[in-house]
Chains A and B, each alone.
Chain A
Amino acid sequence: MRRRPTQRGTSLLEAVLFLPILMMLLWGLIEFGRISYTFYTLHKMLQTVARYTAQQPGLNFCDESDVQLTQAKTLALRGAGESAGAEIIPNLTADQIRIRLERVDPDTAQLGECDCSATGCDIAQGGRSPDFIVVSFTDGFPMRPNIPFFNAAETFALRPLVRMPVGGN
Chain B
Amino acid sequence: MQVLVLMVPVFFGFMGFAIDLGRLYMARNELKTAANAMAIAAAQRLNGTEASIEAATAYARIPIDASSGVANKYDFGGSTIGESNGTLNSEEPTLSFYDASSAAIGSEGSTGGEAGGATAKHVRVVVRGEAPTIFWRFLAIGLDGRINLAAQSVAGQSAPVCQACGVEPIAVQAISIEDTVDFGFVPGIRYTLGYLCTGGPTPGALANTTSRVPYVMLNRYNEGATFLADELTQLYRIGSQGLPPASDPATYCLRVNAEEPVWVNAAPLACNANRVASQVSTFLCGLAARFDNATVPAVCNAVNESDTVIAANPADSDLTDVEDYTAYTGNNRRIITVPIVETAAGSTMVVLGFRQFLIEPAANDSTINAADQNGRFAALYLGSRIPVKQGRIDGCTQFAGPGKVVLHQ
Contacts and interface: CB of A to CB of B under 8 A. Distances in A.
Contacts of B113: none
B43 A168 contact: yes
A159 B247 contact: no
Contacts of A131: 62
B405 A169 contact: yes
B249 A57 contact: yes
A118 B227 CA distance: 10
A168 B405 contact: yes
B87 to A, nearest CB: 20
A14 interface: yes
A14 B1 contact: yes
A88 interface: no
Contacts of B246: 58
Interface string B210-240: 0000000000000000011000000001000
A148 interface: no
B312 A165 contact: no
Contacts of A160: 77
Contacts of A55: 390
Contact of B158 (A14, A36, A169): A169
Given A25-B15, A111-B65, A132-B62, A119 B311 contact: yes
Nearest to A22: B11
Interface string B286-327: 000000000000000000010011011111010000000000
A134 B245 contact: no
Nearest to B55: A109
Interface stretch (A79-87, A89-97, A120-128): A120-128
Interface string B330-350: 010000000000000000000
B248 interface: yes
B4 interface: yes
Contact of B389 (A68, A118, A167): A167
Interface in B225-272: 227-228, 237, 241, 244-249, 252-253
B245 A40 contact: no
B149 to A, nearest CB: 15
B267 to A, nearest CB: 27
Q: Helix, strand, loop or mixed for chain A's interface?
A: mixed
B362 interface: no
B77 to A, nearest CB: 5
Interface stretch (B25-33, B97-105, B176-184): B25-33
Given A39-B26, A118-B312, A162 B72 contact: yes
A1 interface: no
Interface string A92-107: 0000000010101011
Interface in B351-409: 387, 389-391, 404-407
A74 interface: no
A29 interface: yes
Interface stretch (B16-24, B116-124, B140-148, B186-194): B16-24
A164 B227 contact: no
Contact of B245 (A129, A158, A161, A169): A129
A162 B314 CA distance: 27
Contact of B308 (A102, A107, A126, A164): A126
Contacts of B63: 132, 163-165
A67 interface: yes
Most B CB contacts (10 A, CB to CB) among A67, A128, A168 go to: A168
A68 B252 CA distance: 15
Given A10-B1, A168-B387, A123 B244 contact: yes
A139 interface: no
B390 A161 contact: no
A6 interface: no
B329 to A, nearest CB: 13
Most A CB contacts (10 A, CB to CB) among B73, B312, B407 go to: B312
A109 B57 CA distance: 13
Nearest to A18: B4
Nearest to A15: B4
Given A29-B19, A128-B312, A161-B70, 20 more contacts: A14-B4, A25-B11, A29-B18, A33-B19, A36-B26, A47-B33, A57-B247, A57-B390, A58-B165, A58-B247, A58-B248, A66-B247, A107-B314, A124-B227, A126-B309, A136-B70, A160-B77, A162-B72, A163-B62, A163-B70
Nearest to B406: A169
Contacts of A104: 59, 62
